Amino acid sequence: MNVEINKERLKNRFTRYVKIWSQSRDDVEDRYPSTEQQVEFARILEKDLEEMGLQDVQMDEHCYVTATLPANPPENSARPVLGLLAHYDTYPGVSGKDVKPILHIYDGGDIVLPDDPKVVIKAKENPELAKFVGEEIITASGTTLLGADDKAGLAEVLEAVQTLMEHPEIPRPTIRLAFTPDEETGNGTKFFDHEAFGAHVAYTFDGSVMGEVENETFSADGAKVFITGRDVHPGYAKGKMINALRVAARFIECIPQGMSPEYTEAREPYLHPVGMDGNTSEATITYIVRAFDVEGLKAQEAYMQLLAEGLEREFEGSRIRVEVKEQYRNMRYYLDKEPRAVEFAMQAVRMAGIQPHLESIRGGTDGARLSILGLPTPNIFAGGVNFHSKFEWVAVRAMAKATETALNLVQLWAGADRRA
């Protein structure tokens, strides 16, 4: 493909989007999306798609923003419909409000972020940085995350579509776009109508380092531990009080370090407490449970239940209840429906001049649930590194290569038939 990616436009769209607050919340169950700021972002995105001239632009009641780019030439409408997806919420655990993106010409070494000099992106901890010496990278200022997860993917998909509209000589099938809220809470496709979306195959641009193609995710559940204690005036509490917060602390302490994410890697599962609140009478711990297979999930959840029963005996009179909610399952089992989904992803990366590497995600994407529902959806790199942290960064060239990969996928599917 002899089309140059407009890096300035890509960069400008990305930095504009990261400045717009769209953080989700994982402690909200009575509304969708989980935050009003996501609704506001969806409205901005809807307007942007309309101004680009896309067809069928819609923001539905759940704030899924969708649009269509028709096939070119028209006879390519007989080709498989291709979906391109990204999510627009940012991780709830680190502030995504008032993000100040900073453009660096990386000269090697560590990067000290100006608004908090204690936040240092260390070269020895970020070997990927060495690929971009002398090039542009973007960080936040040190007090927030950046939001490359997944506004880099969002900008890349839109830049690819803009490029296709400017270059009608590039063949394409019908392309469906979808941008989702609440991916970071595990609910990104909770109300998504994949049949109405109408794609044969799709790709989320939500991966990390340049060249990654991800065909496997963790299977994931969420768990809440509800603890009931007994409150008594502390002056007369001996032998009577059961402090629910102390029981909660004990519960967390009893999870072995080897079951924690900071001590696991590769295909090892983990239990991860992400929130605790309460008082002397009642306390709640929120966990995420991750394993690559369902058996691993069930083993960890059984451990939590045994621990609850043991602590009820240790803190006689307390009540501890573990409640588990399914989130998503490993998408690898469902991609066999359309083996070309991964094959074309690997080929598209090679066409961009990058050596692809197939990865298993120690996390999840919207593609996991979509693949289960019957829409094969591998995950493609978006270029960001150190997601969910103030140390997040993305190289402009990596974003451009992700955009080029998207264009290559378009051309590959423009030449494919509809066989499954």
Domains for the chain: give ranges and CATH numbers: 7-217+330-414 (3.40.630.10), 220-327 (3.30.70.360)
* Nearest CA-CA partner of 317 in 408, 217, 237: 237
- pTM of the predicted structure, to 2 decimals: 0.85
The predicted pLDDT at position 327 comes to 84
Say if residues 382 and 402 touch (Cβ distance below 8 Å): yes
CB neighbourhood size of 286 (10 A): 16
CB neighbourhood size of 389 (10 A): 17
Task: Please give the share of the chain, as a percent, with pLDDT higher than 70.
Answer: 99
The predicted pLDDT at position 94 comes to 97
Mark the ranges of the chain whose per-residue pLDDT is less than 70: 1, 419-420
Q: Which two tokens stand for residue 237?
A: 């509490």
CB neighbourhood size of 47 (10 A): 12
The predicted pLDDT at position 13 comes to 98
pLDDT digits 0-9 by tens, 316-375: 999 999 999 998 888 888 898 899 999 999 999 999 999 999 998 887 789 988 998 999
The predicted pLDDT at position 420 comes to 53
**Positions marked catalytic:** 89, 183
The predicted pLDDT at position 186 comes to 85
pLDDT digits 0-9 by tens, 80-94: 999 999 999 999 999
Say if residues 142 and 390 touch (Cβ distance below 8 Å): yes
The predicted pLDDT at position 1 comes to 65
The predicted pLDDT at position 287 comes to 97
Q: What are the b/e assignments for 48-84, b being 16+ CB within 10 Å?
A: bbeeeebeebebeebbbbbbbbebbeeebeebbbbbb
